[in-house]
């Protein structure tokens, strides 16, 4: 048996350094390596240079391959056709499904347009960024974010019961209406706890808001990824519970940028799904 100090003195392998920085190591080992890095400039700089080699490769690869990537619109149209065919084969209710998919295609078209704008060429053009972000964080009047008095140890206990009571449909519809959505489409929103239950957030009107999956990259998937990260940081003791609650309630987009060190949602979060969609 080696002591904790021994383990922390030993230099981790390149592979372990990379896993640690990506948050893919088990908690105990991650902590050991984090402690080691604090006192070992050699490993810190080795990790930085490994990461920069991968990062630069990723950038060059993307710019080289993207020249050959055709625009997505024809491929997307082909996909919606195939989905219509597949639905038809399963349900035999051709017309209704096609009508539904036509609506989906219309939504899709708008999305393509906005995606095209926001992806543009690099960082140029997005003059309305603040407007866009404002629309994807809830109004503090309607959703200030409410929490219970659970402590960190209660929330992080392995047997902590974080299940929430389902929200009554009538209450949910009221919340949607308060946010100006009269007829919410199923699967388009998450009825999101602004402060998640894992951080002591209450299932109450002042903590629930309809968060769209579409329309912005600052969507429910990005927020789910942030929740996952904040809960981990809080349970590891790296961020105090009160700070985590305040950060996510005040401006989750700012909190995302801070904790992922990114000015835009990361692509790996594009399909992140923690909570169920509203339906």
Footprint on residues 188-217 left by another protein (CB under 8 A): 188, 190-193, 197, 203, 213-214
| Under rule CB under 8 A, residue 140 binds another protein | no
Among 6, 66, 159, 183, binds another protein (CB under 8 A): 66
User: Within positions 154 to 193, which residues make up the interface with another protein, using CB under 8 A?
Assistant: 163-164, 166-167, 169, 172, 185-188, 190-193
User: Within positions 218 to 257, which residues make up the interface with another protein, using CB under 8 A?
Assistant: none
Q: Least Å distance between CB 84 and another protein?
A: 8
Q: Least Å distance between CB 54 and another protein?
A: 5
CB contact at 8 A, 181 and 249: no
How many chain residues touch another protein (CB under 8 A)? 85
| Under rule CB under 8 A, residue 15 binds another protein | yes
CB contact at 8 A, 211 and 223: yes
As a whole number of angstroms, the distance between CA 16 and CA 20 comes to: 6
Among 48, 111, 242, 254, binds another protein (CB under 8 A): 111
CB closer to another protein, 83 vs 156:
83
Q: What is the largest CA-CA distance in the chain?
A: 69
Q: Least Å distance between CB 60 and another protein?
A: 4
Q: Least Å distance between CB 150 and another protein?
A: 17
As a whole number of angstroms, the distance between CA 217 and CA 117 comes to: 12
As a whole number of angstroms, the distance between CA 145 and CA 270 comes to: 25
Secondary structure class of 192 (helix, strand, coil): strand
Q: Least Å distance between CB 121 and another protein?
A: 13
| Under rule CB under 8 A, residue 67 binds another protein | yes
Q: Least Å distance between CB 212 and another protein?
A: 10
Among 10, 11, 39, 57, binds another protein (CB under 8 A): 57
| Under rule CB under 8 A, residue 28 binds another protein | no
| Under rule CB under 8 A, residue 48 binds another protein | no
């Amino acid at each position: 048996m080696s002591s904790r100090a021994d383990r922390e003195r030993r230099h981790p392998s390149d592979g372990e350094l990379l896993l640690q920085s990506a948050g893919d190591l088990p908690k105990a080992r991650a902590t050991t390596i984090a402690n080691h890095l604090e006192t070992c400039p050699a490993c810190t700089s080795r990790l930085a240079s490994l990461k920069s080699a991968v990062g630069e490769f990723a950038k060059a690869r993307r710019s080289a391959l993207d020249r050959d990537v055709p625009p997505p619109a024809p491929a997307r149209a082909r996909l919606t056709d195939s989905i219509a065919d597949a639905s038809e084969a399963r349900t035999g209710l051709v017309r209704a499904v096609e009508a539904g998919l036509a609506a989906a295609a219309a939504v899709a078209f708008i999305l393509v347009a906005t995606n095209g704008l926001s992806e543009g060429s690099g960082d140029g053009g997005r003059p309305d960024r603040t407007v866009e972000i404002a629309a994807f964080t809830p109004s503090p009047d309607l959703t200030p974010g409410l929490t219970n008095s659970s402590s960190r140890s209660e929330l992080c206990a392995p047997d902590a019961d974080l299940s929430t009571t389902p929200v009554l449909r009538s209450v949910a519809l009221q919340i949607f209406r308060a946010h100006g959505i009269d007829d919410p489409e199923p699967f388009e929103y998450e009825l999101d706890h602004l402060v998640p239950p894992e951080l002591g957030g209450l299932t109450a009107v002042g903590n629930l808001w309809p968060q769209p999956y579409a329309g912005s990259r600052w969507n429910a998937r990005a927020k789910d990824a942030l929740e996952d990260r904040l809960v981990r940081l809080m349970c590891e003791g790296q961020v105090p519970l009160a700070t985590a609650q305040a950060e996510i309630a005040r401006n989750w987009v700012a909190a995302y940028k801070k904790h992922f060190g990114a000015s835009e949602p990361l692509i790996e979060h594009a399909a992140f799904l923690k909570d169920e969609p509203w339906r």
